[in-house]
Amino acid sequence: MNELIMEKKKTSILIIILFTLCLFYSGCLTFIVLKNNMPINNKENSNDKTEEKDDKKEPEEKPNIYSETDYIRKTEVNLEEKSCKNTLIKANIENGNIIISDETKEIILNTKNAKYLYKTSYQICTNVILFFITNDGKLYKITNPNELIKDRNIKTGNILEMSDIYGLKFEYSSIERLSTKDDIITEFLGEYNASDQDVDTYGLMNDEIIVLDFYNNKKSFNYRDDIFH
């Protein structure tokens, strides 16, 4: 009798174990099926994300058609020739700053990261414009920087911040950033001076500074509009 009871207990335990194993095995199969289906969905999502990234990718770098001889990489220029008022006014880059000097006076424009200079002028001694490119790819225009050293309120050795030129509102001098926040300007290529035949519908002749950007795109920035007479 006891043996019969023991046999029934063993049979019951075996049934419970088999039932548990069956449930576990069924759960595993479900997990395996789900897991096998997941990569398909993930792959689709991955493709979607790739497509989204492609829409926001950086501009492609174009082949560079320019050579080293095309670049204008000056770090020193004459703002006024000695023939103007018997005084030579120079600008040069030193430790990232622009030094403006004549024979008796020197002032520092604290640009911090100036790399190259380019100068143009309407006449030899007037309407001087100094352009400079910074190491972080910005392009600036300083109108009549030679007038800064002539200002009696600016003493030799004075250090001017760029914000000083903005804020002090000098009568003849000003500073302006020509490049946009997205531009990365790397080289000067020269300038374009409008001829009499290039007058637009408003009677203006446009002068442009020509530069190269990080992606080897040639860019032009208008720096002066002259009324045609």
SS3 string, the chain, reads CHHHHHHHHHHHHHHHHHHHHHHHHHHHHHHHHHHHHHHHHHHHHHHHHHHHHHHCCCCCCCCCCCCHHHCCCECEEEEECHHHHCCCEEEEEECCEEEEECCCCEEEEECCCEEEEEEEECCCCCCEEEEEEECCCCEEEEECCHHHHHCCCCCCCCEEEHHHHHHHCCCCCEEEECCCCCCCEEEEEEEEECCHHHCCCCCEEEEEEEEEECCCCEEEEEEEEEECC
> What pLDDT is attached to residue 125?
76
Angle, CA 64 vertex, CA 59 and CA 68 arms, to 5°: 135
> What pLDDT is attached to residue 28?
47
> What pLDDT is attached to residue 203?
55
> What pLDDT is attached to residue 5?
56
Query: What predicted TM-score, i.e. pTM, was given to this entire model?
Result: 0.70
Print pLDDT tens along the chain (229 aa).
555 556 656 666 666 665 565 555 555 444 444 445 544 444 445 455 545 555 556 777 788 888 889 999 999 999 998 888 888 999 999 999 999 999 999 999 999 999 999 999 877 777 899 999 999 999 999 999 999 998 888 999 999 998 888 777 787 889 999 999 999 999 999 998 766 666 655 555 578 999 999 999 999 998 876 654 4
> What pLDDT is attached to residue 213?
96
> What pLDDT is attached to residue 32?
45
